[in-house]
Amino acid sequence: MCFRNIAKMHAKFWGDKKKVIAGYLKSSSAQDFDKRSRPAKYSKISAWSRNKFLASPDSIKKKIDHISVSDWRTHFSMKIPQNGKLPDWFTLLAEDRKSTMTMDDPTVKEMLGVFTERLPKYNQEYLTEFNQREVETLTHGDFHGGNNMFGVNKNEGNVVVYDFQGCGHGLACFDVINLLVASIEIANYHEVEEFIKDYYNALVENGVSDYDWSKFSLDFEMALVERIVGMISICNMMKPKTMIKFMTAISGEEKVDDIHSGLY
């Protein structure tokens, strides 16, 4: 329901590069969401830092190794909740989750190793163009389950998205990524495809005709990789305590406490 609903908004503003969206928002910050999603497009410093990071498997491995020996390794955000849904490939048993760190799991290490080796070439072949592409539509900017309200009684089946303070120009796939990462537990990529196909079908049903499925699915994949690259960079720049302070300043203590209690 959430995906189909946001697809209607994306379709309404599809192809608008700047003028109508900026007028609709009546704000000079309409571009902020895309700047947060793809900083290398707008900042020479971010582009230089990104290119240095993705230059070789060794430079990427160095960043990941740093996380593995930092305070992040034992932080609650790096653990899977006791009752959390596990990916099909994950080997860490429920009874071992309290004593074993997620990044110590052999399959996680193997996954990160493959990611490290493939990312430089993937960046050259795909992400470089992706990070220079023009914006597509109006994006929500903070699209997760907590920012959706669901109808009851006679309004059952309806959903309304709110909290547009972070909205602006952007690529639609980043809104899709945000909901999946923040609000949905996934066991395998087949489940992911079911969600994003529902979103894509709604996009087409609401008038988007110049965006085929193969292009959207690749954009989704690239946005997901971008999200991972961003997480690795943040974990290298900030310690967990600094990140919590940062989140608290933005979202308030109550929301941060809710995140923590939702995990454990």
Inside any domain, residue 63: yes
Q: Which domain holds residue 71?
A: 2-234
Q: Give how far the C-alpha of residue 153 lies from the chain's centroid of Cα atoms, to the nearest Å.
A: 33
Report if residue 98 sits inside a domain: yes
Number of helices followed by number of strands (H, E) in the chain: 13, 4
Q: Which residues pair with 150 in a beta bridge?
A: 159
CA distance 235 to 240: 8
CA–CA separation, 175 and 220 (whole Å): 10
Confidence (pLDDT) at 263: 46
Least confident of 68-77, 79-88, 253-262: 253-262
The reply to whether 192 falls in a domain is yes
pLDDT band at 78; cut points 50, 70, 90: confident
Q: Is 264 part of any domain?
A: no
Least confident of 92-96, 104-108, 137-141, 146-150: 92-96
Number of domains the chain contains: 1
Mean pLDDT of the chain: 85
Q: What's the pTM value of the predicted model, to 2 decimals?
A: 0.86
The three-state secondary structure class of 200 is helix
187-205 b/e with 16+ CB inside 10 Å = b?
eeeebbeebbeebbebbee
Checking if the pLDDT of 5 tops 90, the result is: yes
Q: Which of 151, 179, 147 is nearest to 163 (CA)?
A: 147
> 254 in a domain, yes or no?
no
Predicted confidence (pLDDT) per residue in 180-224, tens digit: 888 888 888 888 899 999 999 999 999 999 999 999 999 999 999
Looking at residue 107, its pLDDT comes to: 83
For residues 63 and 232, is the Cβ–Cβ distance under 8 A? yes
| CA 207 to chain centroid | 25
pLDDT value of position 100: 63
